[in-house]
Amino acid sequence: MASCEHNRCLYIAECIVERIHRLDTQGAVTRWAVNDVPWGLSVNAANNVLVTCRVARRIKEFSSHGNLLRELTLPDDVINPWHAIQTHNGEFIVCHGGLNDAVHRVCKISADGRDIVHFHGGQRGSDTGQYYVPVHLAVDKNDCVLVIDVCNRRVTLLSATLDYVCEVVSSDKLKWDPLRLHLDTQRRRLYVSDDEIKDLKCTAGRVVMFSV
């Protein structure tokens, strides 16, 4: 899911039927086809919806009412992208790496989607500079990046140039596995979903709030 304050609506991705639902504050629902499996959603500075299509390795930009504005194919070595956010200067922050992939990273990609400008991570692992399924992102007003690292059960903070800053949420603060996060910059609060996963299904969960 992603929300848009400007358009006062909520966007929800439905993977099985490959579409996006738009719910406004009056309860009206509209929907449109993505024609690829949608995974991560975000809203950019133009108040358009960015849909990360993991299998197709694409970012699709739609207007608030579902008109396809552009489609970017990510670089060849960005495998299994989960989530993308566009920064204020038009570049994209993308996290990628599936469970069995060798490379797990957070990348800053040029505005045309062709080149990797910076990256953090590499071979999957649990050390400070490594990830094991980095699946969801948040970016603050200074373009610093928060990253959910699912299998390492932590949230990492990176600088605007993707240098390591610190571990914001450690595994001892969570009961299960983190899957999604939301950063409230005005209240300086970080909300992290903490989910129990069995047989690739969420069987229980909660939302944990942290001051940042």
CA 161 from chain center: how many Å? 17
CA 190 from chain center: how many Å? 14
Residue 200 has pLDDT above 90, yes or no: no
The pLDDT tens digits for 79-113 are: 999 999 999 899 999 999 999 999 999 999 999 99
In this prediction, residue 157 has a pLDDT band, given cuts at 50, 70 and 90, of: very high
In this prediction, residue 199 has a pLDDT band, given cuts at 50, 70 and 90, of: confident
What's the rounded Cα separation, in Å, for the pair 79 and 103? 8
Q: Would you say 24 and 3 are in contact if contact means Cβ atoms under 8 Å apart?
A: no
Q: Spell out the domains of the chain, with CATH numbers in brackets.
A: 2-173 (2.130.10.10)
What's the rounded Cα separation, in Å, for the pair 183 and 179? 14
Per-residue model confidence (pLDDT) at position 54: 96
